[in-house]
Amino acid sequence: MESQNLPVDTRIGRQLRYLREEAGLTQQQLADVMREAGARMHRSTIGKIEAGERVVSIGEAAQFAEVLGIDLTHLFNVGQKRLVTAQLKVRALELRAEEYARVLEETQVLLDHTLAQLEDARTLLKEREAE
C-alpha cells in the first residue's frame, strides 16, 4: 500500500517516527521535550501516535514541529529530505547542548559546595592541630 493511500493518522505517525529517529531521540526523550514545552505527553502516547492509533491535534502537531525545530509542513510530508535532516540534526544537537549545560551547571554547584566544605574542614583541622 502506498503511503498516500494510508489513513492520515498512520502517515503522520510514520512521519513523526522518522523525524524523531532522524533527530536521534527516543520516544521518552521526545515526550520529555514535549512536556517541557507544555504538552501533556507520555512515551506511550508517542508510541500510539507513531502506530497510527491516536489522533494528533493541530496544536500537538505544531508543538512537535517546534520542539523538533522543523516547519509544520514537514510533519505531513518530507519533500525536502536533506533540509529536514539538517534541521533535525541541529535541533538534536541543541537539545543535547542544553542537557549538557544543565548537567554542567549542577556539577559546578556541587563542586563549589564541596570546595567550600573542604576549606571549612582544612580550617577546622588547623585549629585542632594548634590546640
Mean pLDDT by 10 residues, the chain (131 residues): 65 88 91 91 94 90 90 71 76 87 94 95 92 84
As to burial, measured by CB atoms within 10 angstroms (0-12 exposed, 13-18 middle, 19+ buried), residue 102 is exposed
**What residue spans define the domains of the chain?**
3-96
* 18-23-38-76 Cα dihedral, nearest 10 degrees: -30
Q: What is the pLDDT of residue 113?
A: 95
Among 53, 29, 51, CA closest to 41: 29
Q: What is the pLDDT of residue 17?
A: 92
- Residue tagged 532522524 (cell numbers): 22
Beta strands in the chain (DSSP E): none
Identify whether the C-beta of residue 50 lies closer than 8 Å to the C-beta of residue 13: yes
Q: What is the pLDDT of residue 42?
A: 94
Q: How far apart are CA 69 and CA 91, in angstroms?
A: 6
C-alpha cell at 96: 543535547
C-beta atoms surrounding 34 within 10 Å: 21
Q: What is the pLDDT of residue 6?
A: 72
Q: What is the pLDDT of residue 116?
A: 96
User: Distance of alpha carbon 83 from its chain centroid, rounded?
Assistant: 20
Q: What is the pLDDT of residue 108?
A: 95
Q: How far apart are CA 15 and CA 74, in angstroms?
A: 8
CATH architecture of 3-96: Orthogonal Bundle (1.10)
